[in-house]
Structure 1
Amino acid sequence: MAKEYGVEYPERALMAVLSDLLGIPHFTTSRGSTVRSDFLKAVLVALGESPKARTRMV
């Protein structure tokens, strides 16, 4: 199946729980296994880290 660009899907359940617990906005997702970078940045800031912090994802 071809990848559809620019199509947004409902937020994943775990993302919704994290958004509620951290008090951050809810984000839609794209199709596939990736999580939006703006969601990850919002989580990072909510946890007290600088939005420009560079982290290594494993």
Structure 2
Amino acid sequence: MIGYPEDFSGNPTPSYRSNAPLRILYKVTEWTGHSSEQLKMMHEHLEHLKQHGIAAGDD
């Protein structure tokens, strides 16, 4: 992708697309992710929303 350094390659979501160049201010080198229990709860909540016809990210 033009405008993205190799460290940030991929397919960003439309909400992160920009016509103007983006400037990377810093790179996160240390990050602690969510626990397995937290991830499980988030996935269950997304499934609950899906079952009720609510798409994730709806405003």
Alignment TM-score, normalising by the size of structure 2: 0.29
Relative contact order (C-alpha < 8 Å, sep 6+): which is higher? Answer: 1
In terms of Rg, which structure is larger? 2
TM-score, scaled to structure 1: 0.30
